[in-house]
Amino acid sequence: MSTINLDRGLIAGADGGTTTAPAKAPLNYLNCESTVASWLLTLDHKRIGLLYLVGITAMFILGGTFASLIRFELLTPKGDVLSGDSYNKTFTAHGVVMIFLFLIPSIPAVLGNFLLPIMIGTKDVAFPRLNLMSFYLYVGGGIFLSLALLFGGVDTGWTFYTPLSSSYANGNVMAAALGVFIIGFSSILTGLNFIVTIHRMRAPGMTWFRMPLFVWAMYATSLVQVLGTPVVAITVSLLGFERILGVGIFDPRLGGDPILFQHMFWFYSHPAVYIMIIPSLGVASELVTTFSRKGIFGYEIIACSSIAIAIFGFIVWAHHMFTSGISPYAAMVFSFLTFSVAIPSGIKVFSWLATMFKGSISYASPMMFFFGFIGLFTIGGMTGLFLSTLGTDIHLHDTYFVVAHFHYIMVGGAIMGYMGGMHYWWPKITGKMYSELWSKVSAALIFVGFNFTFFPQFFLGYLGMPRRYHEYPEELQVLNVLSTVGASVLALGYILPLLYLPGSLFFGAKAPKNPWGASTLEWTECESPPHPHNFESNPPIPDHVYDYSQLSKEAVRVSH
């Protein structure tokens, strides 16, 4: 980015939302420069967020395609669409793409990048160049990983368990591991950038307990990214040594211990679950207070519960290994600790409910996604307790019950939150309003389709259908057909926003500065879309971040 035109900058200082001269749109981060290089080499956190949006949307479509293949195969009890081997590669590809390339970067890299500096009243993240580098590490690792999955494929599952991955799997295990390693650094650098930004870049007056809860969620997420990801990096490196040099760190034939791999893998990969869900919890907190027009219930405790989830997240990893032969005493401790994660999660859910209580609730589409989110997240969280109970876990381990449980968290929780966040901030990001009708249809389709897809899987798992098989006994077909039909509805729900959100760029009404009457800085102090430097000068910081007494909603003006 180079020089920004001074004249247009001054016009933006006037009320950008109501400028009457349409010929000269106010200066914003989208129209300040338009060359390809100004996008691909941008240091502006808002533009980098948009670059990520393009990347993760592509990956979501890719991962969704693999999911469709899986559900299509499972329509019938016989393996008639995919061979066993192709099926293994398909669910591995689905897991790897969705987790490493979509869910982990989704909210932090897109919404976090765009919003975090604005929400704390600063011009940019602490290290803009590092931010751009994170994006290109993501792109590089993503291309690498996608090629490894599409050409040759990997059949180990996204967990890369040894000795399967080290000694027996054919496929591109090494290339995939290297891809994960590279993307891991992208994630680490984003987390590092956010931590330093929150510590050192807050505007004067922006104390810790005046920060929006989304920022708190980003802080907790960043802690997990920074503390967890290096461990998976060294774990896949050791897997690489093992595979290339045949050294046997995890190979029992050479004195190695395969369980050690599982410990090291889950030390990252369990906290990684919280990298995916905490940002959605943060989005939910923003949505519920804005659309209830009521200060959030228990601000401090919600803020601290994000940090608590991040901390608890690090001490529960062995609940993935209850049937792997770990010590029963260790299993008891990990079971107890896993139960305790329900406390901060419950605090959040109850606080959201208390926020809505006697609030002035409006049913705008972001709130519809929030309603879906809170229901699905609660079911996902509660079924987690079945799995953390040692006795029931023996029965349910590695069945479709587990698949249903984590999809309720990852899809019902994390993606629902992401969708809610995208719909909430879309007017701020693009300056356009989308179709309220179609977005509500989408929210409804996603909620209904999701439940039809995954609720039957709880029963399938309880009846003993193991995950990762492409065939199943005939008596389980009814539930599987339900699930596949639900997945088709769900797919429709996800395809709709891919049409009406980009469509809004061309046909949407112009977004006012604060269409929702929200109280955080990006709505009260920034135009839609924001100025390249976010603020003209240091924004005034209110004492209470969610104070609606002085705010009113701006009507959407239909410009054509």
Partner 1 sequence: MSATNTHKDTTQGHDTHGHHPALAHHFVSLEQQHEANILGMWVFLVTEVLFFGGMFTAYAVYRFKFNTMFQEASNQLDITLGCLNTVVLILSSLTMAMAVRSAQMGKAKPILGYLAATAVLGFAFLGVKYFEWKHDFEVHLIPRADFCWDYAKERRVEADHHEKGKPFVTKVLGKFIGHHEEHAPPTTDRILADKKNPESQQARMFFVLYFAMTGVHAIHMLVGFGLIAAVAFWASKGTYGPDYYTPVEVLGLYWHFVDIVWIFLFPLLYLLGAHLGAGH
Q: Is 240 in the site for partner 1 (CB under 8 A)?
A: no
Torsional class of 160: left (φ above 0), alpha (ψ -120 to 50), beta (otherwise) = left
Rounded to the nearest whole angstrom, what is the least distance from the CB of residue 140 to partner 1 in the complex? Answer: 17
Rounded Cα distance, 191 and 218, in Å: 8
How many residues touch partner 1 (CB under 8 A)? Answer: 57
Q: HEC profile for 103-149?
A: HHHHHHHHHHHHHHHHHCCCCCCCCHHHHHHHHHHHHHHHHHHHHHH
Rounded Cα distance, 471 and 444, in Å: 31
Q: Is 173 helix (H, G, I), strand (E, B) or coil?
A: helix
Q: Is 496 in the site for partner 1 (CB under 8 A)?
A: no
* Beta bridge partner(s), residue 534: 531
Q: What is the DSSP letter of 296?
A: P
Q: Is 456 helix (H, G, I), strand (E, B) or coil?
A: helix
| Chosen residue from 84, 205, 246, 540 binding partner 1 by CB under 8 A | 246
Rounded to the nearest whole angstrom, what is the least distance from the CB of residue 35 to partner 1 in the complex? Answer: 11
Q: Is 136 in the site for partner 1 (CB under 8 A)?
A: no
| Chosen residue from 128, 141, 412, 427 binding partner 1 by CB under 8 A | 128
First-to-final CA distance of the chain: 32
Q: Is 132 in the site for partner 1 (CB under 8 A)?
A: yes
Rounded Cα distance, 432 and 430, in Å: 5
| Chosen residue from 50, 99, 264, 283 binding partner 1 by CB under 8 A | 264
Rounded to the nearest whole angstrom, what is the least distance from the CB of residue 177 to partner 1 in the complex? Answer: 14
Rounded to the nearest whole angstrom, what is the least distance from the CB of residue 54 to partner 1 in the complex? Answer: 18
Q: Is 510 helix (H, G, I), strand (E, B) or coil?
A: strand
Q: Which CB, 326 or 342, lies closer to partner 1?
A: 326
Q: Is 4 in the site for partner 1 (CB under 8 A)?
A: yes
Residue range at the interface with partner 1 (CB under 8 A); choices 1-9, 139-147, 277-285, 462-470: 1-9
| Chosen residue from 104, 118, 145, 249 binding partner 1 by CB under 8 A | 249
Q: Is 533 in the site for partner 1 (CB under 8 A)?
A: yes
Q: Is 72 in the site for partner 1 (CB under 8 A)?
A: no
| Chosen residue from 80, 84, 168, 199 binding partner 1 by CB under 8 A | 199
Rounded Cα distance, 82 and 449, in Å: 24
Using alpha carbons only, give the angle 217, 262, 179 rounded to the nearest 5 degrees. 65
Q: How far is CA 496 from CA 295, 336, 506, in A?
A: 32, 42, 16
Q: Which CB, 171 or 256, lies closer to partner 1?
A: 256
Rounded Cα distance, 486 and 460, in Å: 15
Q: Which CB, 187 or 504, lies closer to partner 1?
A: 187
Rounded to the nearest whole angstrom, what is the least distance from the CB of residue 168 to partner 1 in the complex? Answer: 19
Q: Is 393 in the site for partner 1 (CB under 8 A)?
A: no
Q: Is 227 in the site for partner 1 (CB under 8 A)?
A: yes
Q: Is 330 in the site for partner 1 (CB under 8 A)?
A: no
Rounded Cα distance, 307 and 287, in Å: 20
Q: What is the token pair recorded at 103? A: 């869910």
Residues of the shown chain interacting with partner 1 in the complex, contacts defined by CB under 8 A: 1-4, 6, 9, 37, 41-43, 122-130, 132, 188, 192-193, 195-197, 199-201, 226-231, 233-235, 237-238, 241, 245-249, 254-257, 260, 263-264, 531, 533, 536-537
